Amino acid sequence: MVDLAAIRARHAASPFLAACRGAPHDTVPVWFMRQAGRALGEYRAIREQHTFEEVVHTPELAAEVTLQPVRRYGVDAAVLFSDIVTPVQAIGLDVTIKPGVGPVIDRPLRTIEDVSRLRRLDAEEDLAHVLDTISLLVEELDVPLIGFAGAPFTLASYLIEGGPSRSYSRTKALMFTDELTWHRLLDRLASIVGASLVGQVSRGASAVQLFDSWAGALAPEDYERFVLPHTRRVLEQVGELGVPRIHFGVDTGELLGLMATAGTEVVGVDWRTPLDHARTRVPEGVGLQGNLEPAVCLGPFPQVADRARDVLRRAGGRPDHVFNLGHGVLPATDPGVLAELVALVHEEGGVMAPADNGAGADGEAAEHDREVPQ
Ligand code: CP3
């Protein structure tokens, strides 16, 4: 039996969980999307011996790989090592992760008959390996564990296209030519993804992130009509469990306001939208995560430091900011740079008390001339 109350008590003072809720804490918390993975020599060493799928299917290995960046970087949260396609692999779809490419599927889903290949997911049964990884991790970790899933749209895009895409033309073609099949596909994916997240939280994940990485390909009206209702259903299921939810996508500057209405405590912002601009698009009561350009971390540290300070300045010292990159860590990143970046955010990221954030309880706009920590 998992003692969820004990896990909650252990993380009662977590700055990451406090920031997700806009609650008081002292320093800006930081973690990195894709913090586990090829930037770390110790990860590459494991991958020389095992395929990606073997790592995900072996709880001891998946837990080790999840812990590696926590040890190296001193981040304020761990993120479970698996993939957005793990739940659909678990119900028998022929999806594989091709190194250097991403998820590919031999028989893409494009018709209503194809959609019937998506059966219900029983997390305890089908994702036993993932949930056992969580059980190992919550024993070991001093910081909260973030569970995650791919949102229905992003997952659908891989399953319809057959692999990564630039234009999403087959995905959009299905959306605009066969609305019934589209909604049935997204509805089934929402059930699968929701069951996966509920399973992760019931084993001890303290927060979840829903990756709608590729939603930025859509016009706002299409996002609202074809995607948002399904995403909302996923996030509402998790909301009942009381853990903070983070909702993230790339190139979603024009969608941030809509994404914030899906049922989330925090919206993740990519590097294209400065955080102070994002703040005007996302309603009070929803926090922001982000958003240093990941490629900046390929350059010299003084430049990384300047840009990180700019992110902190634009976040304004508000208590509802979680520092992150604007997307995942690039494999060529020097881990030493990320460790220094974490130290900088912890040293310089001051947080104002919630009452001082310039936004009254009635949601007035923040004052523009207030002092912000440098
Ligand atoms: O630290 C972490 O974030 C670990 C867990 C994690 C992975 N994938 C591990 C992984 C998470 C949260 C993901 C999410 C994921 N997977 C997303 C959403 C995040 C995003 O980047 O927008 C997406 C779109 C995928 C699909 C996917 N899986 C891609 C595009 C790739 C990379 C392909 C490549 O080789 O460049 C994968 C494989 C993958 N998932 C790797 C890792 C560490 C690399 C696998 C390897 O070791 O070769």
Question: pLDDT 10s digit of each residue in the chain, 374 long?
Answer: 789 999 999 999 999 999 999 999 999 999 999 999 999 999 999 999 999 999 999 999 999 999 999 999 999 999 999 999 999 999 999 999 999 999 999 999 999 999 999 999 999 999 999 999 999 999 999 999 999 999 999 999 999 999 999 999 999 999 999 999 999 999 999 999 999 999 999 999 999 999 999 999 999 999 999 999 999 999 999 999 999 999 999 999 999 999 999 999 999 999 999 999 999 999 999 999 999 999 999 999 999 999 999 999 999 999 999 999 999 999 999 999 999 999 999 999 999 998 655 444 443 334 333 344 44
Q: Which two tokens stand for residue 132?
A: 């056992």
Q: Which of 30, 32, 34, 105 is the pocket-test mutation for ligand 1 (most atoms within 8 Å of CB)?
A: 34
Q: Catalytic site residue 72?
A: no
In whole angstroms, what is the distance from residue 225 CA to residue 172 CA? 13
Contact 226, 188 (CB under 8 A): no
Q: Which two tokens stand for residue 308?
A: 């990180």
Q: Which of 10, 34, 225, 313 is catalytic?
A: 34
Q: How far is the CA of 183 from the centre of ligand 1 (A)?
A: 26
**The dihedral formed by the CA atoms of 170, 173, 174 and 176, expressed in degrees to the nearest 10:** 160
| Terminal Cα-to-Cα distance of the chain (whole angstroms) | 46
Q: Catalytic site residue 188?
A: no
Q: pLDDT at position 364, please?
A: 38
Q: pLDDT at position 253, please?
A: 98
Q: How far is the CA of 371 from the centre of ligand 1 (A)?
A: 39
CB of 211 closer than 6 angstroms to any ligand 1 atom: yes
Contact 215, 254 (CB under 8 A): no
> Distance from CA of residue 282 to its chain's centroid?
17
Q: pLDDT at position 356, please?
A: 54
Report the nearest-CA residue for atom 28 of ligand 1. Answer: 102
Q: pLDDT at position 373, please?
A: 44
CB of 99 closer than 6 angstroms to any ligand 1 atom: yes
Q: Catalytic site residue 117?
A: no
CB of 64 closer than 6 angstroms to any ligand 1 atom: no
CB of 158 closer than 6 angstroms to any ligand 1 atom: no
Q: How far is the CA of 363 from the centre of ligand 1 (A)?
A: 37
In whole angstroms, what is the distance from residue 31 CA to residue 73 CA? 9
CB of 86 closer than 6 angstroms to any ligand 1 atom: no
Q: Catalytic site residue 168?
A: no
Q: Which two tokens stand for residue 108?
A: 């893409």
Q: Which of 65, 84, 143, 248 is the pocket-test mutation for ligand 1 (most atoms within 8 Å of CB)?
A: 84
> How buried is 125 (Cβ within 10 angstroms: 0-12 exposed, 13-18 middle, 19+ buried)?
exposed
Q: pLDDT at position 354, please?
A: 85
Q: pLDDT at position 355, please?
A: 65
Q: How far is the CA of 367 from the centre of ligand 1 (A)?
A: 39
356: helix, coil or strand? helix
CB of 213 closer than 6 angstroms to any ligand 1 atom: yes
Identity of the residue numbered 23: A
In whole angstroms, what is the distance from residue 250 CA to residue 267 CA? 11
Q: Catalytic site residue 38?
A: yes
Q: pLDDT at position 190, please?
A: 98
